[in-house]
Amino acid sequence: MQTPGKSMQPAASVDLEALLSDLDSRLQDALRHVGTAGLERLLTVSLPLPALASCKPPSPCPGSMYWANAGRGLYRFGMGRALTLEASGKKRFLSLDTAFSELRGRWVHADPERCGAQALAFLGLSFEPEETGPGFATATVQVPALLLEGAKTDWRVSLSGLLGPTIEPETLHADWLERAGSFFSWLLVGGTESPPVPQGLRRIETTPSDGEWLERVERALAAIGKGRLQKVVLSRRLRVRGRRRLRARPLMDWLEARYPECAQFAYSGEDYTLVGASPERLVTLVGSRVTSDALASTTARGSDGQGDDYLAASLLASPKARKEHELVVQDIVAALKPLCKALEVPREPGLLKLPNLQHLWSPIRGELRSGVTILQLIGRLHPTPAVGGVPRERALSWLAEEGECRGWYTGALGWLADDGSGEVSVVLRCAVLRGRTAELYAGAGIVADSDPRMELAETELKFRTMLDALTRA
């Protein structure tokens, strides 16, 4: 795989006809052993693709889903829908958990060559259980019809589809081969883009405006002063326009190169692409081991080592920052404790240092009790006080009264596997691209001794991540 940030030329050395012929033969072999007896099943067949060793993920396109962690060399790109689950309302996690558990019971994963790929679905959800933006579901689990998965330089393809008494393996095989032919033809010939040319951006609108934001912070402080809230997180939206169409792939390359320790994601509809790099893990589940990040309180990076150390020490010593962070830790511990046999909670927060920001960070780990699912964990954790507030329900009610509309910003995006594992991140440091325009999002946590103008400056600091990236798009 080429270094993130470099443009990949069309892979002329790959013989498309030979690649598809080889894939055809191996799919037939895999399907011979599946059979058709029984109820309808979801079948996933995974195969290695050594011919694509020099490739990198393609550009997002309508209907594509992408999740990566460049620091771990892990890339997942999905297209098409083999199966979609959706839910909304306050019971959306319960509904999705029931449906996904049923799906796992009839999900067959064939990995005949033991390439190590996972049969998985992508998960996306909005901040609020009812409110969302155009094209975005309030909560969705989508199994891609075709998944291209890369780890280091090894690429694998997973093809998924429904199989049952009325759907023969031959029908599925023909559909898969046609889909793979279209995809790999596009990938090898037109699925990459020319190198980015830096462009300027013009700010169109910030919602709420600076003045409205300061007034909203004052109202939040009044609610905190009356004892209604301990903390509430406010958000802002910034619309910008470029001189030409803003492209997702150069933006993703830049984020992967500059923020490799984050989860990078892209979710595309017909006329938009949500792109971002989130430093905050909502939950990771591997076997019975669960991990969640308490990430709250932010400052800038210094221009040199001495300045950076000073800012870090000031953040660690700040009573306001420590209080804001401790509220998040307490909430995550309270959510996980009933589901865990044991919890590991750091006594003191550490620092998560990114190129332009540093945060107080406490990774919380636990050993789950038997039978707990990842969607149950998500339902208990979302939204954490890092993006919502404390007490949770009062904070959410107050935000609704204020008319906060976030869509998937501060919602969550990630993947769930057929074996019950998964990794889901809070949707932060993101932008929604539509042609020449982009909508950026940023937020700040308000506690008793917050300074409204400093919180305003924090949102501008957080906007900077995507503004810098968009000039390369």
Catalytic residue among 128, 149, 256, 280: 280
Distance CA(444)–CA(452), nearest Å, equals: 10
Q: What is the 3-state secondary structure (H, E, C) of 419-460?
A: CCCEEEEECCCEEEEECCEEEEEEEEEECCCCCHHHHHHHHH
Tell me, yes or no, if 280 is annotated catalytic.
Answer: yes
Q: Give the model's pLDDT for residue 58.
A: 77
Judged against a pLDDT cut of 90, whether residue 142 lies above it is answered with yes
As a whole number, mean pLDDT of residues 359-378 equals: 97
Catalytic residue among 128, 149, 231, 439: 231
Tell me, yes or no, if 231 is annotated catalytic.
Answer: yes
Does the pTM surpass 0.85? The reply is yes
Report the half-sphere exposure of 51 (CA within 13 A, side-chain side): 18
Q: Where are the beta strands (DSSP E) in 135-230?
A: 139-143, 146-151, 154-163, 201-207
**Residue 12 banded pLDDT, cuts 50, 70, 90:** very low
Please report, for residues 16, 21, 110, 120, 169, the alpha-carbon distance to residue 33 in angstroms, rounded to integers and kept in the order given: 27, 20, 9, 21, 10
Helix (H, G, I), strand (E, B) or coil at 109: strand
Whose CA is closest to 367, among 342, 338, 346, 333?
A: 342
Q: Give the model's pLDDT for residue 132.
A: 65
Judged against a pLDDT cut of 50, whether residue 5 lies above it is answered with no
**Residue 8 banded pLDDT, cuts 50, 70, 90:** very low
> Which H/E stretch holds residue 358?
strand 357-368
As a whole number, mean pLDDT of residues 290-314 equals: 93
Go through 293-309 and write b for each residue having 16 or more CB atoms within 10 A of its CB, e for each that does not: bbbbbbbbbeeeeeebe
Return the percentage of the chain with pLDDT > 90, whole number.
Answer: 71
The mean predicted confidence, pLDDT, of the chain is: 90
Q: Give the model's pLDDT for residue 193.
A: 61
Structural domains of the chain ordered from first start = 16-189 (no CATH), 201-470 (3.60.120.10)
